[in-house]
Every structure is written in structure tokens, then in C-alpha cells.
A and B are shown apart, each in its own frame.
Chain A
Amino acid sequence: MSQVKIDKVCKKFGDFEAVKNFSLEIQDGEFIVLVGPSGCGKTTLLRMVAGLETVTSGEIFIDEAQITHMPPKKRDIAMVFQNYALYPHMNVYKNLAFALKLRKMPKPEIKETVKKTADLLGIGDFLNRFPNQLSGGQKQRVALGRAIVRQPKVFLFDEPLSNLDAKLRGSMRAEILDIHQRLNNTSIYVTHDQLEAMTMGTRIIIMKDGAIQQNGTPQEIYNNPVNKFVAGFIGSPAMNVMSCTIKEETGNLMAVNKGMNLTIPAEKTTGLTSYIDQDVYLGLRPEHISDLAGNATKADNSTFKAFVRLVEPLGSEQLIHLEAEDQRFIARIDPRSHITYGETLDFQAQMASATFFDGKTEERIV
């Protein structure tokens, strides 16, 4: 259907730079998720694509056509808002039909299109109801329907699920994805929820302070975060990050912290040799810390002793909160291991999966 190209876009509110030199190309049919903490500029960027916010500098194209300074009504873009933004004085049918009516579509055709869309979303029975007679989930479906019904070039979603409760959010997530797979529209989805980003995006853009931190598939971002911020932002529970010093001992590189001496495997050492005797950050995902319970492996130089502060059994796994010296970690561990509060045990760090970040720039080393 359509591609979107955002070229060196900046947005200033007075002295405050909300979006800095932002460039991004979105291919036809992609589902792009913009994610970041609040105030990172993701919503501003979305609103600039929609035309609701002016662009300070830079250009935006849809299908090679320059739309940077086009009013919203001419852009052929649909947006789903966080608070639904349904027309309160129109029933569901009229909400869906409004845009078609403005386009002077003949009445029978409007009727058919609205009906098809409503059936797709399972709101066919509510067409005569008014927005205040609908539940949150139903309202969100109508808002989706209003966007779908006119087959726009690009779909924009501005945190559409954050007003729903957790359970509904899960099912709506699946529903939006399902619709996307059926219609294959180019979509830009803004959220602050990393779980939504991971599960929905064909590509994720992580933003902070108005700039892109990383752009990649969910897997790439999870496995290879470019910096400490991304590592901490994606994944739940977050990646364990601790500061340590790189030392060389008997030909091996070690990550050293009070009470902890972890050997760095050979395949990781390449980038780290220049950091000897310097401070770095060591990042370990919770699933890369394991207990020794099942294994006969004795404590070796990739293990450390830690105190169990809290055990969170989640059924399919358990999260163990650990404390070693001043550092705190979370480990994701097989639910069959019997670990209880107050124990001090040996845990193994899977250093082959570890990530290292520069101590000053916080950029990834290896």
C-alpha cells in the first residue's frame, strides 16, 4: 500500500527539542512500534506524521509525495487515540460512516462498507448504540473501525490500549495484530509498554530524548541492545546491569566486582582487551543466571555467591531476587528448583550470553 519516509525531522517547542534529527523509512505493510519512556518524543513524532503538529525542520513523505506541510485532512491517514476520541453525539454507525460521508461516497456503499468493517471487528450488533453506552473494549473497537473503514494509506496508533485493563489489553493486542495481518496496512504504533512493543512490532524503534536509540526487530533488540538504556528498557524483568572492572589474570579476562570474579569466555574478549583495568557495565538477562541445584558442576570461576531476598513463583518459572555484596539481581529459574528466602547459594552467570557496556558512554562493547 504505502511507504513512509521521515527525513531528518526536528521539532522544537520553544527552546525544548522534542524530536531531534529523526530519520526513518517504513516499508509497505510494516507494523512499526515506537517505544520509549514518557517525554521521549514518540507521540510528537506520530502527531507530526498525522499533521496535527507542525514540523520545525525536515521532511515527511508518503509514497514519495511530500506531505510535510499538508493539513491533516489531505494526508489520508487514520489515527486511533488513547482516549478513543469517538464522536459522542453520533451512534456507532455514524461514527464509522462520518469519514465516508465526507468523501461523498454513495449511501448504499457506505452502508455496505460500515457493515463489513463492523463485522470484522465484532461490533455489528452495536451500530445503533452511542459511545457512552459502550464498554472500554467496545469503544476501542469502534475507534479501530473508524480508522479501518476508510482504508487510509497509513494507520497511526497513539497508545490505544493504555486505557484498558490488563486482560483486555492482551486480547486487543492480538486483535490488532490479526487485523494487521489481514489488511496488511502500513502502521505506526506508539506505546510506552515494552511488552506491547515486543509482541506487536515487525520492527521496533526505541526512542529517548527525541532521538532513536535502536531500530530493529524485537529479537535483535532483545539479544543485541546497542546501549545500556535499551538493555534496561526492553525485557521484563529488566536486564541485570552491574558495574565492574575488567582485569587480566593468567591470560583470562575477568569481570571483577566485590566478591565476584567472573571469567569472560574467549569469544567475548576481543573488544574488551582495550578496557583492561577500566570500569564497564556487565549486563546479564535474568534467564542467564541459573542455580546449580540440578547440576553437579562445582562452583567455578563463573559462579558467585548470593543471598536470596525474595522468591516470586510464577508457575512456569520463578523469579529469584538476589543480593551479592551491594549488587542486586533477578534470576529466572526453573520452577522445580527449591529455593527459599534467606538462603545463600551459588549461582552461575552464563558469561557467553553476557553483554558489556562502556563505563562512560554506556554504548555496547560486546
Chain B
Amino acid sequence: MMADQTIQKINRLLFYAILIFIVTVFFFPFMWVAFTAFQDAVNAGAVPPDLLAPPTLDNFRQVFEEGGFISCMINSTIVVALTLTANLIVSLPAAYVIARNRQNWMMFLILFMQMAPWITLLLPWYIIFKKLGLYDTYIGLVLSNLTFMIPFTIWLMLGFFEDVPVEVEEAAWLDGCSHLGTFVRIVVPLVKGGIITITTLGFMFCWNIFLFPLVLSGYGTKTLPVFVYGFMDDNQLDFGPLAAASLLTMLPVIIFVLINQKYFRQGIAFGGGK
């Protein structure tokens, strides 16, 4: 009896010990970056770290003074907002039509469009965008983001639309609703969960994307990830400001996703991620 209880206790202890180890491994970089971002030039690179060193905001000041940080943040915000809005307007109706007329070849195309490597799209885009004057414009960046958002959105929304009973739509038609009216007033409110999921994941994809803006944005529309990359080249080995810049870049997306955690997890579990 006693022995059983002891074994159980040890088991529990062991379980939590392993748990804490796992958390440490995956969460450690975040603790490090949050710590380092508040250290002065001497302490930031110190090995071993001085945990009791007084925190400072100098690094953040330096990031803001570097110039471009704020405008890049604004660029990122604009591109993300425009992409997500455009994506819903373009993808939801398409997903709805495909959900009602599902065919294998459509499904394959959508899958393949999600699979295609971005670098292969980027080569022709670069030439086309330059020709059409889309290089270094918000529209260009939004279009590039739409290319992965549209297939992803359609793929994820299909299930949501298929769960809307056809009879509910038919009832709306008989009630005197047009096709567009039925879609906007009846179908879209019923797939709200999917829309939040898409917006959450889309915020993450579009905020984090690096390769497209790296090539397609110039001085006028540079986004945060591209800024951080450039900032790294300018401040080699200056850990404090680099950590502060990293922290500031990822903070908005982390906050946004954590607010919609439930939907994020749903989306991840569904798509197996990108």
C-alpha cells in the first residue's frame, strides 16, 4: 500500500521533471532574447550571463533610432491588413463554390499550389513585377502573399462550407434571397469559426514571411523581417540591439495569435501546418 503510493509519487515527480525539461528546451530562446534585450552592451554578450545586472532600455532606443524600424512596422501592418482583407473577399466565395461542386482535379490543383516552392514563383515574379510596376509596392506584396493565402484558405474553408446544409441555402432562395445575398447573409455567418482561424493563421504567415518581401520590396515597402535581416548585418555581434529588434518583430504576431489560441490550434491540427 505504502509502496504503491510512493511509486506513484515518484512517477509524478519524474513526469513533471521531464515536462519542465521539455518546456525549457523549447522556451529557452525566448527567455534568452527577452533577457538579453534589456542588457547593456557589456552584459548582453557576457558568458556566463549576469542574471542580476540592472535592465536597460538602451537597446530599444537604438532600434528605434536606427531609422526605418517604425516605417517597416507600419509597412508590415499595412501589408498584413490588406492581404487578410483581400484574401477573405477573394477566397471565401471561391471556397464556397468549390465546396458545393467538389471535384478531384480542383483539389489536386489547390494542394499543388500549396506545395509549390516559393523560390520558383519568385523568379518569374521578379521580372513580371518589375515590368508591371508592382515592384516595391504594397499591391505587389499583397499579391505575392495572396498566392499562398488563397489555396490555403480554400483548403481549410472547404470543410466549414460543406457543413452548411444545402437546405438552409435553398430556404433562403425561396425566401427571396439572391445568390450573393444568401452567401453574405446566411452562409458566411455560419462559417465564422473558419474565418477567425484563417485570419489568425494568415496573420502569422503574412507577418512572418521573409522571402517575398526580401526580393519584391525595396526601400519604400520594406517589412519587418527584411528590416531585422538588414539590422543583423549592420550590428554583427552587438547582441543587445539585435535581441531587442528580434523581440519587437515577433511580439505583435505572438500577441495576436495567443489571443486567438483556440482557433490557431484548430488550424494547426487541421492543416498539419505549412
- A–B interface present (Cβ within 8 A): yes
Q: How far is the CA of A50 from the CA of B189 in the complex (A)?
A: 25
Q: How far is the CA of A277 from the CA of B28 in the complex (A)?
A: 98
Asked if A50 contacts B174 (CB within 8 A), the reply is yes
Q: Which of A84-92, A106-114, A181-189, A217-225 contacts B (4 or more CB under 8 A)?
A: A84-92
B176 beta carbon closer than 8 Å to chain A: yes
Asked if A83 contacts B167 (CB within 8 A), the reply is yes
Asked if B167 contacts A81 (CB within 8 A), the reply is yes
Which residues does chain A contribute within 8 Å of B122, judged by CB atoms? none
Asked if B181 contacts A102 (CB within 8 A), the reply is yes
User: Which one of A78, A81, A89 contacts B190 once the chains associate, using CB atoms below 8 Å?
Assistant: A89
Asked if A103 contacts B176 (CB within 8 A), the reply is yes
Interface positions, chain B 159-213, Cβ under 8 Å from A, are: 165, 167-168, 170-178, 181, 186, 189-190
Q: Nearest residue in A to B181 (C-beta to C-beta)?
A: A102
How distant is B37 from chain A, measured CB to nearest CB, in Å? 45
Q: How far is the CA of A176 from the CA of B177 in the complex (A)?
A: 26
Size class of the contact patch on chain B: 10 to 19
Interface string of B115-158 (1 = CB under 8 A from A): 00000000000000000000000000000000000000000000
Which residues does chain B contribute within 8 Å of A81, judged by CB atoms? 167, 170-171
How distant is A51 from chain B, measured CB to nearest CB, in Å? 8
Asked if A71 contacts B168 (CB within 8 A), the reply is no
Which residues does chain B contribute within 8 Å of A86, judged by CB atoms? 168, 171
Interface positions, chain A 47-86, Cβ under 8 Å from B, are: 50-52, 71-73, 75, 77-79, 81-83, 85-86
Q: How far is the CA of A71 from the CA of B174 in the complex (A)?
A: 9
Interface string of A233-274 (1 = CB under 8 A from B): 000000000000000000000000000000000000000000
Q: Nearest residue in B to A99 (C-beta to C-beta)?
A: B175
Interface string of A40-52 (1 = CB under 8 A from B): 0000000000111
Asked if A87 contacts B174 (CB within 8 A), the reply is no
Which residues does chain A contribute within 8 Å of B176, judged by CB atoms? 73, 99, 102-103
How distant is A50 from chain B, measured CB to nearest CB, in Å? 6
Q: Summarize B's interface: helix, strand, loop or mixed.
A: helix
User: Which one of A77, A83, A88, A89 contacts B174 once the chains associate, using CB atoms below 8 Å?
Assistant: A77
Asked if A79 contacts B189 (CB within 8 A), the reply is no
Which residues does chain B contribute within 8 Å of A85, judged by CB atoms? 165, 167-168, 170-171
How distant is A229 from chain B, measured CB to nearest CB, in Å? 30
A285 beta carbon closer than 8 Å to chain B: no
Which residues does chain B contribute within 8 Å of A88, judged by CB atoms? 168, 190
Which residues does chain A contribute within 8 Å of B181, judged by CB atoms? 102
Which residues does chain B contribute within 8 Å of A203, judged by CB atoms? none
How distant is A2 from chain B, measured CB to nearest CB, in Å? 15
How distant is B260 from chain A, measured CB to nearest CB, in Å? 20
Q: How far is the CA of A150 from the CA of B189 in the complex (A)?
A: 24
- 16 further contact pairs, Cβ within 8 A, besides A73-B173, A73-B175, A75-B174: A50-B170, A51-B173, A51-B174, A52-B174, A72-B173, A73-B174, A73-B178, A81-B170, A85-B167, A85-B171, A87-B168, A88-B168, A89-B190, A99-B175, A99-B176, A103-B176
Q: Which 10 A-B pairs have the closest CB atoms?
A: A85-B167, A99-B175, A85-B171, A72-B173, A102-B176, A89-B189, A81-B167, A73-B176, A85-B168, A72-B174
- Which residues from chain B sit less than 8 Å from chain A, CB to CB? 165, 167-168, 170-178, 181, 186, 189-190
Q: List 9 A-B contacts (CB under 8 A).
A: A50-B174, A71-B173, A73-B176, A73-B177, A78-B174, A87-B172, A99-B176, A102-B176, A150-B175
- Which residues from chain A sit less than 8 Å from chain B, CB to CB? 50-52, 71-73, 75, 77-79, 81-83, 85-89, 98-99, 102-103, 146, 150
